[in-house]
Amino acid sequence: MVEGGFTKLLRKKLFFHLAQKYQPLGSSEPKEEEEECELKIIEQEKEVAVLAPKDACKCHKEDLAKALNVDLQTGLSECSVLQRRLKHGWNEFSVENTEPIWKKYLDQFKNPLILLLLASALVSVITKEYEDAASITMAVLIVVTVAFIQEYRSEKSLEELNKLVPPECNCLREGKLQHLLARDLVPGDIIYLSVGDRVPADLRLIEVTDLLVDESSFTGEAEPCNKTDSVLMEAGDITTLSNVVFMGTLVRYGKGKGVVIGTGENSQFGEVFKMMQAEETPKTPLQKSMDRLGKQLTLFSFGIIGLIMLIGWLQGKHLLGMFTIGVSLAVAAIPEGLPIVVTVTLVLGVLRMAKKRVIVKKLPIVETLGCCNVICSDKTGTLTANEMTVTRLVTSDGFQAEVSGVGYNGEGNVYLLPSKEILKEFSNVSVGKLVEAGCVVNNAIIRKNSVMGQPTEGALIALAMKMELADIKDTYVRNKEIPFSSEQKWMAVKCTLKNQDQDDIYFMKGAFEEVIQYCSLYNSGGISLSLTPQQKAFYQQEEKRMGSSGLRVLALASGPELGKLTFLGLVGIIDPPRAGVREAVQVLLDSGVSVKMITGDALETAMAIGQNIGLCNGKLKAMSGEELDQLAEAELSSTVKNVSIFFRTSPKHKLKIIKALQRAGAIVSMTGDGVNDAVALKSADIGIAMGQAGTDVSKEAANMILVDDDFSTVMNAIEEGKGIFYNIKNFVRFQLSTSISALSLITLSTVLNLPNPLNAMQILWINIIMDGPPAQSLGVEPVDKDTIKQPPRRITDTILSKSLILKIFMSAVIIISGTLFVFWKENPKGGINPRTTTMTFTCFVFFDLFNALTCRSQTKLILEIGFFRNRMFLYSVLGSFLGQLAVIYIPPLQKIFQTENLGVLDLLFLTVLASSVFIVSEFVKLCEKHCCQPKHTKGCHN
């Protein structure tokens, strides 16, 4: 491509400035040689490209430096960095949605209900109903603006959330170690890594000292990976690239130095991101309901037009005149407030969720939670705390103990079983020796409640802290270490006691079957006795029992030399569930929501966690990733519904599970935090990412983000979703009963050749002014405490259910009958006058306000929900009432609306008559409550 003149000029000025910046003192201007040198650098930098991890892992350091044009001792120059940034961009993970703001705004008009309203406004202009056209256009502008602003604010909130993760690193440039933002990095930068660092980009390691990197966000494996700086001969799967570290992974132990080989979307993150973008986000149930309602209203509108034209034609009236009347009635039938209140209700739901530390990226997702009937959750870091914890001890002489407390803060106790005696230090010699060995044969450090090193070793240190033995490690001097390897499956250290002239002592930890081979004795109350086959069989049985309950079992031993060690006992370790998860799962199951756990762990561990958190009340059915692959698509859809635990799974299995559940008709929510969850998060109806432990990719893929990583806040979200849908139903009942009443009055007067009971300005007042504030206040009705107990709404359920339609027509019949009665009572023989229209108009408005009061709940009486719980409703009804009085009594408004003063007795009569709609509706609720108790469904599966 040919570069534009502006870009060339910019680069020339930029490098001219840099040349001036770095020229020797005393020079007045850059020399021609320096300019030529800068131009050469520009040309060289253009050739620098990102390196794929599978290529970089096979490069020697010299080849790597040459390919990336970097000096490994001094790093890049500022000149090179600027040039590379022009080519490769910032080291950021941006969504490829670079639509301009105006286009995003116009996209809001694609809603079918909005298009229908715009069509109605156009017809109103054609038929010269300019007041209706103006009011409808204003309604459309309000709804699309509110929706656009909220979605824009949600995007900004997400950007702020991403800033919570410290994107910083230590980078070598121009021979100096600098502390930079990760976004500043370019290919070829030299990065220094230390314990606790988040890897800022894909790096090829060139120097390593005992480096362990947690890649669980990629692989799902809890154990950190050993890293090396040696060249690999063959490049396999990314999990085998031991000399490459990936963006977003965490340094658990040791230190290292690496060269940036990939930034931003050219990193390994980019591969997952492409998969994620290929997944199309499904429409939410609310969007589907709104689409259906829009179609229903369209058919209803055309039906009215056809009916009026037919009646008029049979009466011999002018066809074009009847068409104008029909279209006007159709416009009146469309509830302009519906999209406004739906959007405002969703906006307020999003804002309430934000206060509960949940960020919602798209408005309708909050409501979708209300009909979610399956939650698929990743185990590590979502259901569990991703903090290895010792929970069980078995000593070599048969003592058993359980351990309380989670994580690395040292809080909790060790209880001897069955007496529940709390053990400290060496109050029980056998337990004390076991804990001492775990603390000494250990390289982890716990600092500020977080582990520096392997999580398993951190769990042993935390155990020692609970026994008040954490400092015992300092009483020994380590002389030698035999590090752990996957082949030998054990680790040992040779130590001597400080300030004591004693023989060396070995401490060993590892897999039971390996450690026991080095033991000839066992500990019994501090005395070493000969190890018998019976003892070995007992330990093996205990090891199997602990393993089958999902614990990772470590054996510990000590002694003067390898091969003559004294067996000390077994330690059981697990990644425990998060606090509150069990209670949240129980509430979900009771409300008819199925919870499924998806993990890469082995069956025993997965089953143990499943039973611990109460999945399906202990009735568990598990399936492996291998078994999933063997099932046909049709068989899979019917099988996955009854499975609670999926183990040994990969990202493709997660996607397969979600697709199968969706084919079976389920509304699926997926929670997760790792890169390996991203595709499933995007594909699910509701993707929920973790804000703190979650990777950038998972946050981008998700619809919702739990800022505090608290799984139990999903409960609040589901409660909010159900409450929002009920509020929308309340509004729809109020709006449609009002619209049908107004429509019927006009239709009856037209068909019967009667004078029109309401003039154009009065209808406008009813449709826009009166229906606006009360209707919107129905959308902010606080969520009822019993809402969470209701079963999920079925996807096939529409907002306009049969029950709701009956209630709408019941209210409409009462309003029409009462208003016609007043119209008939006040209609003198000489024709209608201002008093007739004022009484009829005011009667209709009062009916409207009482109707709004009873529409606050479809099932509960007003005395149960309380008059004062929704203050916005009170203010809007009071404002509407005062507005109506202003229309009746203020002279300028009397001229506009063609009204006149009414007496106190008139207002009292209209109030009593209008309250009939409220009294009848409350009586119907009472009958439903006692005669038709709602069925409550419990179960594991939907």
Measured N-to-C along each axis, helices 904-931 and 834-854 cross at an angle, to the nearest 10 degrees, of: 30
Please state, in angstroms and as integers, the Cα–Cα distance from residue 515 to each residue in 179, 392, 536, following that order. Answer: 45, 19, 11
Query: Which is nearest to 53 in space by CA: 268, 338, 353, 252?
Result: 268
Phi-psi region of 441 (alpha: psi -120 to 50; beta: other; left: phi over 0): beta
Please state, in angstroms and as integers, the Cα–Cα distance from residue 547 to each residue in 259, 391, 489, following that order. Answer: 41, 12, 16
Residue 857: how many CB atoms within 10 A of its CB?
18
Would the CA dihedral through 748, 749, 750, 753 be positive or negative?
positive
Residues 6+ apart with CB under 8 A from 5: none
Known active-site residue 378:
yes
Token pair listed for 706: 């739990």
Token pair listed for 388: 């290895």
Backbone phi, then psi, for 611, in 5-degree steps? Answer: -70, -35
One-letter amino acid at 188 equals G
Instruction: Determine whether 316 is exposed, middle or buried from the number of CB atoms within 10 Å of its CB (0-12, 13-18, 19+).
Output: exposed
Instruction: Give me the catalytic one of 189, 202, 214, 378.
Output: 378
Is the separation of the CB atoms in 363 and 151 below 8 Å?
yes
Residues 6+ apart with CB under 8 A from 139: 117, 336, 337, 339, 340, 768
Would the CA dihedral through 437, 440, 446, 451 be positive or negative?
negative
Measured N-to-C along each axis, helices 337-355 and 713-751 cross at an angle, to the nearest 10 degrees, of: 170
Residue 108: how many CB atoms within 10 A of its CB?
18
Residue 382 DSSP symbol: I
State yes or no: cis peptide before 560, omega within 30 of 0.
no
Report d(CA 707, CA 580) in Å as an integer.
16
Report d(CA 389, CA 572) in Å as an integer.
9
Residues 6+ apart with CB under 8 A from 46: 83, 87
Helix spans in 356-454 (H): 364-368, 429-440
Please state, in angstroms and as integers, the Cα–Cα distance from residue 215 to each residue in 140, 227, 385, 485, 790, following that order. Answer: 49, 11, 16, 18, 40
Is the separation of the CB atoms in 361 and 155 below 8 Å?
yes
Name the CA dihedral angle for 437, 439, 441, 447, rounded to a multiple of 10 degrees. Answer: 180
Is the separation of the CB atoms in 725 and 370 below 8 Å?
yes
Residue 136: how many CB atoms within 10 A of its CB?
25
Catalytic residues, which ones? 378
